[in-house]
C-alpha cells in the first residue's frame, strides 16, 4: 500500500502556522541586551521543525529559507551572533516571507521567487558580514568581521551520548548530519540496528529530540550524559556520575514541561509513519520522562472546525427535540407518568451538559486574538515615530472561535486608529506632562452572558467640538445639547474623520462605520468613553457564542418572541403613578429612582390585538449598551434554551430582529435585537432631555 503524503499537508500547514506565531511572539518579546537562552532555543526549534516538515513534503523554497534562518538562530543561541534591532527586524520579515510561502503551498502554487531570493540574500549577508552590512549604503564595505567568539559554556549534566535503536544503516548519515547541528561529532558507531553518536559538546535532550522527531520515533531514543569535571578531579572521580546526571536532567526537563503554559487550542497528532510525519510540536514529540506524568500536549487532538460545527448543529437539533418532547407531555399527570417525566427531566439536564461541553470545544482564550497585535504595534509605532507600550489583560477569557475570527478585523482597525490618532508623538506627550511612551491596553472580561473587549489608550482623547464641527460640515443633524455618548457615536458615521492629514495608516473616514456594522451583525455593540487630554476607551460587547442561547419567551398579541435572558434585569406590573407621558406616543416608566424610556412592542412591529394598556401588560427592564429601558409585552411564557438560526441567510434582514429559532411545536420564533430596541427607547429619552432644557 502506497502512502499518499499529501494527506498530511493540512496538518503541516496548521502546525507551521502555530510555530510561526510562536516564533513571532518570542522574537518581539526577546530582550536584545540579555536574550533568554530558552527563548532562543524555542525560536530555533520552531524554525527547525518547519524546515524538517518542508523537507518531508518537498517544499523547496520553504525548506531553504528556514535552513538559512535556522543557521543564524543556531549561531545566536550559542553566542556567536550578536543580536540587535536590525537582526530581529530581519528575522520578523523572514517570518512573514515564510508565512507567504506556506500560504502559496497551501493554495498549490509556487512561492514568490523574487521574495525568496531577496530574503535569502539578506540572511546570507547577516550571516557573513553582520547586521551593519544590512544598513550599509551600496558599495560600502563593512569592517572585517571579528573572529567568532568561543561557544558559550553550557551547564553541567547535559546530554552527550545519543543512542538511536531500530533504524536502517542507510539512515545513519542523515541522523549524524542532524546531530552535527549541536557541534562536532566525537565518535559514531552502528551495531545491530542501533546508532550511537557521541557529541564533542553537551546539548539539551529536548533539543535533540526536536531535531530528530522527523526521522525517528521518540521511543527509539535514549541518552547518556557527561558531567563537567571540577578542577583537580580526575576522570575516575566522575565514575558512575553519568546515570545520576541523566536522571537529574530528565527530571528537570519533565518539570519544565509540567509548568509550561498550555495552549487551549485543539491540536492533532498525525498518525502517519515517522518518515511521513509532517510537523510535531516540539515538546509533544518527546518521549515520556521518568516522572511518569504525561505532558498536557499528548492528550490533545486537532480536528477541523467543520466537524465541531456539525456536532454543534446536531446538539442544537437535540435541544429542539427535547423541547418538543417537553411541550408534548407537559400536561401529563405526574403520578401516572412519573417515570416518563423524570426521564424527560434527566434528558434535559444531559442535553444542557452536552451542549455546554460541545460549546467549550469552540471556546478559545482571547490570548489567541491578542497575540496578533504585538507585531502590529511594534511595526506601526516605529513607522509613526511613536513610543508605545502594549499591555494585555484577561488573556485567559474565553470566546467562541468563530467570533474571535470575525472580530479580528474590527479590532485591528480600532487599534490602528488608537496608534495613529489617539496616542501623541513623544514630543507632544512631554509637552503635555506625560511620559514619552504611550500605553495601549487590550483587555477582556466576562459579564453575564457577554464578553467585554476594551481597547484603551492614554492619548489625546476625543475632541467634542471638533467632532461636532465636522458633523455639521458633513450635513449631520447635531446640536450642542447632545450628550458626550451621542457625540462619540458620530465617529461611526460613514465617511466621518477628524484627522488633520490622511496617512496610509488611517484618516480617510473609511472603516469605522464598517466596524460598527460588523460588530452589530455579531449581536454586539460598541461603546466609547473618552476624556480630552487623557485618553479613550472603546468597548466591544459581544455574546459568548452565536450557536445556542438562553432566552425568555414573550407573547405580544398572537406573536411569540425571544428576549436574550442576559439582557433582562427584572419584570413587573407598573402602577399609574409610575408613568409619565412626554409626547403623544412616548412614555416613561419610573423605576428605582429614575425614569426609563418605554418601548411598546406592538408599535415597533405593528402587531394587532396586542395589549396596549401599560397598566395591564408586563413591563420588562432591559439593559443594552450600558443603558436601561423598559419593554411592554403581553405575557411571559417562560425561560427556554434556544438554537440560534441566522434569519438573514434564510430570509432577509429585519429591523429589530437579530435571528430566529424553532420552538418545540415546530413554529418559528424571532429573537429580538436588543440594541435596535434600545435605540428606539433612546429617542424617547432624548425628547425628555430636550423638553427639560426648553
The pLDDT tens digits for 12-46 are: 888 898 899 999 989 998 888 888 888 899 999 89
Do strands 548-556 and 559-564 pair parallel, antiparallel, or not at all (unpaired)? antiparallel
Average pLDDT of the chain?
A: 78
Do strands 450-457 and 438-447 pair parallel, antiparallel, or not at all (unpaired)? antiparallel
The number of C-alpha atoms within 13 Å of 691 and in the hemisphere containing its C-beta is 10
**Helix 85-106 and helix 60-77: axis angle, to 10°?**
150
Question: Is residue 282 over pLDDT 70?
Answer: no
Low-confidence winner among 249-263, 347-361, 532-546, 674-688 (lowest mean pLDDT): 249-263
Question: What average pLDDT score do residues 179-200 get?
Answer: 83
Contact 159, 223 (CB under 8 A): yes
Instruction: Give the pLDDT of residue 546.
Output: 65
Domain count, the chain: 5
Question: Is residue 319 over pLDDT 60?
Answer: yes
Low-confidence winner among 29-38, 351-360, 643-652 (lowest mean pLDDT): 643-652
Residue 645 lies in a domain: yes
Whether residues 521 and 407 share a domain: the answer is: yes
Contact 277, 217 (CB under 8 A): no
Q: Which CATH number characterizes residue 167's domain?
A: 3.30.70.400
Q: How many CB atoms lie within 10 A of CB 600?
A: 22
Domain hosting 360: range is 305-364
Q: What is the pLDDT of residues 550-594, one digit of tens each?
A: 889 999 999 999 998 888 899 999 999 998 887 777 889 999 888
Domain boundary among 543, 578, 605: 543
Question: Is residue 142 over pLDDT 60?
Answer: no
Instruction: Give the pLDDT of residue 148.
Output: 42
Question: What average pLDDT score do residues 459-481 get?
Answer: 87
Residues in the chain, overall count = 694
Question: Is residue 435 over pLDDT 90?
Answer: yes
Q: Which of 398, 402, 403, 393 is nearest to 373 (CA)?
A: 393
Domain boundary among 527, 543, 559: 543
Choose from 284-288, 310-314, 318-322, 386-390 the range with maximum mean pLDDT. Answer: 386-390
Q: What is the pLDDT of residues 391-434, one digit of tens each?
A: 999 998 888 888 888 888 899 999 998 998 899 999 999 999 99
Structure-block grid coordinates of residue 299: 492528550
Question: Is residue 684 over pLDDT 70?
Answer: no
Residue 149 lies in a domain: no
∠ CA 258-260-263 to the nearest 5 degrees? Answer: 115
Residue 297 DSSP code = G
Instruction: Give the pLDDT of residue 405.
Output: 84
Phi–psi pair at 677, nearest 5 degrees: -65, -35
Instruction: Give the pLDDT of residue 555.
Output: 93
Structure-block grid coordinates of residue 366: 482571547
How far, in Å, CA of 419 to CA of 505, rounded?
9
How far, in Å, CA of 457 to CA of 415, rounded?
9
How far, in Å, CA of 255 to CA of 249, rounded?
10
Q: Which of 647, 649, 650 is nearest to 670 (CA)?
A: 647
Q: Which residue has the higher pLDDT, 203 or 268?
A: 203
Low-confidence winner among 72-76, 358-362, 631-635, 676-680 (lowest mean pLDDT): 676-680
Provide the 3-class DSSP secondary structure of residue 183: coil
Question: Is residue 65 over pLDDT 90?
Answer: yes
Residue 645 DSSP code = B
How far, in Å, CA of 486 to CA of 81, rounded?
56
Whether residues 475 and 376 share a domain: the answer is: yes
Instruction: Give the pLDDT of residue 423.
Output: 93
Question: Is residue 1 over pLDDT 50?
Answer: no
Q: Which CATH number characterizes residue 321's domain?
A: 1.10.287
Largest CA distance in the chain: 103
Q: What percent of the chain has pLDDT over 90?
A: 22
Q: What percent of the chain has pLDDT over 70?
A: 78
Residue 425 DSSP code = P
Q: Which of 377, 362, 536 is nearest to 459 (CA)?
A: 536
Residue 272 lies in a domain: no
Whether residues 539 and 552 share a domain: the answer is: no
Instruction: Give the pLDDT of residue 312.
Output: 81
Instruction: Give the pLDDT of residue 535.
Output: 93
How far, in Å, CA of 481 to CA of 146, rounded?
70
Instruction: Give the pLDDT of residue 444.
Output: 93
Choose from 63-77, 137-151, 190-204, 248-262 the range with maximum mean pLDDT. Answer: 63-77
The model's confidence at residue 455, banded by pLDDT at 50, 70 and 90, is: very high
Instruction: Give the pLDDT of residue 158.
Output: 65
CA distances from 352 to 358, 546, 577, 687 (A): 10, 16, 43, 44
Q: Which of 609, 596, 379 is nearest to 587 (CA)?
A: 596
The model's confidence at residue 625, banded by pLDDT at 50, 70 and 90, is: low
Q: How many CB atoms lie within 10 A of CB 365?
A: 20
With 0-12 / 13-18 / 19 or more C-beta atoms within 10 angstroms meaning exposed / middle / buried, residue 353 is: exposed
The model's confidence at residue 320, banded by pLDDT at 50, 70 and 90, is: confident
Residue 405 lies in a domain: yes
Do strands 398-400 and 438-447 pair parallel, antiparallel, or not at all (unpaired)? unpaired
Q: How many CB atoms lie within 10 A of CB 34?
A: 6
Contact 622, 563 (CB under 8 A): yes
Question: Is residue 187 over pLDDT 70?
Answer: yes
Whether residues 401 and 316 share a domain: the answer is: no
How far, in Å, CA of 302 to CA of 308, rounded?
11
For 121-164, what is the HEC assignment? HHHHHHHHHCCHHHHCCCCCCCCCCCCCCCCCCCCCCEEEEEEE
Provide the 3-class DSSP secondary structure of residue 158: strand
Residue 560 lies in a domain: yes
3-state helix, strand and coil shares in percent for the chain, rounded to the nearest 5:
45, 20, 35
Whether residues 351 and 429 share a domain: the answer is: no
Structure-block grid coordinates of residue 590: 419610573
Q: Which residue has the higher pLDDT, 574 or 139?
A: 574
Instruction: Give the pLDDT of residue 156.
Output: 45
| Torsion sign over Cα 467, 626, 610, 619 | negative
How far, in Å, CA of 592 to CA of 270, rounded?
60
Q: What is the pLDDT of residues 103-132, one digit of tens each?
A: 999 988 999 999 999 999 999 999 888 877
* Strand partners of residue 560: 555
Q: What is the pLDDT of residues 205-217, one digit of tens each?
A: 777 776 776 667 7
How far, in Å, CA of 685 to CA of 679, rounded?
10
Whether residues 111 and 195 share a domain: the answer is: no
Question: Is residue 89 over pLDDT 80?
Answer: yes
Whether residues 687 and 554 share a domain: the answer is: yes
Residue 626 lies in a domain: yes
Whether residues 460 and 503 share a domain: the answer is: yes
Domain boundary among 100, 135, 170: 135
Structure-block grid coordinates of residue 606: 405593528
Q: How many helices (H) and strands (E) does the chain have?
A: 21, 22
Instruction: Give the pLDDT of residue 499.
Output: 60
Structure-block grid coordinates of residue 242: 553519568
Q: Which CATH number characterizes residue 88's domain?
A: 1.20.120.160
Structure-block grid coordinates of residue 539: 468597548
Q: Which CATH number characterizes residue 669's domain?
A: 2.40.50.180
Question: Is residue 507 over pLDDT 50?
Answer: no
Structure-block grid coordinates of residue 116: 525568496
Q: What is the pLDDT of residues 215-259, one digit of tens each?
A: 677 778 888 754 444 444 433 343 343 444 344 434 443 443 344
Q: Which residue has the higher pLDDT, 100 or 334?
A: 100
Whether residues 572 and 687 share a domain: the answer is: yes
Residue 97 lies in a domain: yes
Whether residues 375 and 431 share a domain: the answer is: yes
Whether residues 504 and 469 share a domain: the answer is: yes
Residue 679 lies in a domain: yes
Q: Which residue has the higher pLDDT, 126 or 474?
A: 126
| Torsion sign over Cα 318, 320, 323, 328 | negative
Whether residues 461 and 607 share a domain: the answer is: no
Instruction: Give the pLDDT of residue 437.
Output: 93
Instruction: Give the pLDDT of residue 73.
Output: 92
Phi–psi pair at 412, nearest 5 degrees: -60, -40
Amino acid at each position: 500500500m502506497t502512502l499518499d503524503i499529501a494527506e498530511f499537508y493540512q496538518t503541516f500547514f496548521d502546525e507551521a502556522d502555530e510555530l510561526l506565531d510562536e516564533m513571532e511572539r518570542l522574537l518581539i518579546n526577546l530582550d536584545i541586551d540579555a536574550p533568554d537562552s530558552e527563548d532562543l532555543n524555542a525560536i530555533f526549534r520552531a524554525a527547525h521543525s518547519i524546515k524538517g516538515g518542508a523537507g518531508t513534503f518537498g517544499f523547496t523554497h520553504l525548506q531553504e529559507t528556514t535552513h538559512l534562518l535556522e543557521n543564524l538562530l543556531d549561531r545566536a543561541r550559542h553566542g556567536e551572533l550578536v543580536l540587535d534591532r536590525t537582526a530581529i527586524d530581519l528575522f520578523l520579515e523572514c517570518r512573514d516571507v515564510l508565512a507567504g510561502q506556506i500560504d502559496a503551498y497551501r493554495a498549490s502554487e509556487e512561492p514568490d521567487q523574487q521574495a525568496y531570493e531577496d530574503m535569502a540574500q539578506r540572511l546570507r549577508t547577516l550571516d557573513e558580514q553582520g547586521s551593519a552590512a544590512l544598513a550599509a549604503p551600496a558599495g560600502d564595505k563593512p569592517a572585517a568581521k571579528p573572529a567568532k567568539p568561543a561557544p558559550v559554556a553550557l551547564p553541567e549534566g547535559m546530554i552527550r551520548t545519543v543512542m538511536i535503536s531500530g533504524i536502517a544503516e542507510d539512515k545513519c548519515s542523515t541522523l549524524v548530519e542532524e546531530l552535527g547541528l549541536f557541534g562536532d561529532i566525537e565518535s559514531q558507531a552502528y551495531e545491530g540496528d542501533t546508532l550511537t553518536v557521541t557529541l564533542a559538546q553537551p546539548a539539551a535532550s529536548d533539543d535533540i529530540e526536536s531535531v530528530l522527531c522527523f526521522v525517528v520515533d521518540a521511543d527509539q531514543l535514549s541518552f547518556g550524559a557527561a558531567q563537567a569535571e571540577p578542577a583537580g578531579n580526575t576522570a575516575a572521580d566522575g565514575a558512575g556520575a553519568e546515570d545520576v546526571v541523566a536522571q537529574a536532567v530528565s527530571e528537570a526537563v519533565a518539570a519544565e514541561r509540567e509548568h509550561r503554559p498550555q495552549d487551549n487550542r485543539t491540536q492533532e497528532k498525525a498518525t502517519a509513519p515517522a518518515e511521513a510525519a509532517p510537523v510535531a510540536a516540539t515538546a509533544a514529540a518527546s518521549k515520556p520522562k521518568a516522572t511518569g506524568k504525561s505532558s498536557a500536549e499528548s492528550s490533545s487532538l486537532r480536528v477541523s472546525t467543520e466537524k465541531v460545527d456539525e456536532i454543534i448543529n446536531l446538539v442544537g437539533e437535540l435541544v429542539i427535540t427535547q423541547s418538543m418532547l417537553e411541550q408534548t407531555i407537559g400536561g401529563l399527570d405526574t403520578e401516572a407518568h412519573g417515570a416518563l417525566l423524570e426521564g424527560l427531566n434527566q434528558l434535559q439536564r444531559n442535553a444542557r451538559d452536552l451542549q455546554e461541553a460541545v460549546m467549550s470545544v469552540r471556546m478559545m482564550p482571547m490570548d489567541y486574538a491578542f497575540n496578533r497585535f504585538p507585531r502590529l504595534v511594534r511595526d506601526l509605532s516605529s513607522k509613526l515615530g511613536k513610543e508605545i507600550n502594549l499591555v494585555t489583560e484577561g488573556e485567559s477569557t474565553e470566546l467562541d472561535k468563530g467570533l474571535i475570527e470575525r472580530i479580528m478585523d474590527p479590532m485591528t482597525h480600532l487599534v490602528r486608529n488608537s496608534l495613529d490618532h489617539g496616542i501623541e508623538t513623544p514630543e507632544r506627550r512631554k509637552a503635555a506632562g506625560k511620559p514619552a511612551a504611550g500605553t495601549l491596553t487590550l483587555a477582556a472580561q466576562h459579564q453575564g452572558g457577554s464578553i467585554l473587549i476594551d481597547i484603551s489608550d492614554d492619548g489625546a482623547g476625543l475632541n467634542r467640538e471638533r467632532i461636532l464641527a465636522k458633523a455639521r460640515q458633513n450635513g449631520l443633524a447635531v446640536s450642542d445639547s447632545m450628550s458626550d455618548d451621542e457625540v462619540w457615536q458620530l465617529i461611526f458615521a460613514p465617511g466621518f474623520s477628524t484627522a488633520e492629514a490622511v496617512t496610509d495608516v488611517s484618516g480617510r473616514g473609511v472603516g469605522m462605520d464598517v466596524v460598527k456594522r460588523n460588530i452589530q451583525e455579531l449581536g454586539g455593540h460598541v461603546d466609547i468613553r473618552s476624556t480630552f487630554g487623557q485618553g479613550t476607551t472603546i468597548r466591544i460587547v459581544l455574546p459568548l457564542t452565536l450557536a445556542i442561547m438562553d432566552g425568555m419567551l414573550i407573547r405580544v398579541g398572537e406573536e411569540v418572541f425571544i428576549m436574550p435572558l442576559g439582557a433582562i434585569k427584572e419584570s413587573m406590573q407598573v402602577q399609574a403613578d409610575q408613568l409619565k407621558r412626554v409626547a403623544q406616543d412616548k412614555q416613561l416608566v419610573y423605576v428605582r429612582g429614575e425614569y426609563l424610556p418605554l418601548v411598546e412592542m406592538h408599535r415597533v412591529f405593528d402587531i394587532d390585538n396586542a395589549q396596549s394598556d401599560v397598566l395591564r401588560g408586563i413591563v420588562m427592564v432591559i439593559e443594552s449598551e450600558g443603558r436601561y429601558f423598559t419593554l411592554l409585552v403581553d405575557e411571559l411564557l417562560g425561560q427556554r434554551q434556544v438554537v440560534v438560526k441566522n434569519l438573514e441567510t434564510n430570509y432577509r434582514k429585519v429591523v429589530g430582529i437579530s435571528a430566529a429559532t424553532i420552538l418545540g411545536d415546530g413554529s418559528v420564533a424571532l429573537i429580538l435585537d436588543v440594541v435596535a430596541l434600545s435605540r428606539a427607547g433612546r429617542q424617547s429619552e432624548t425628547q425628555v432631555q430636550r423638553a427639560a432644557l426648553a
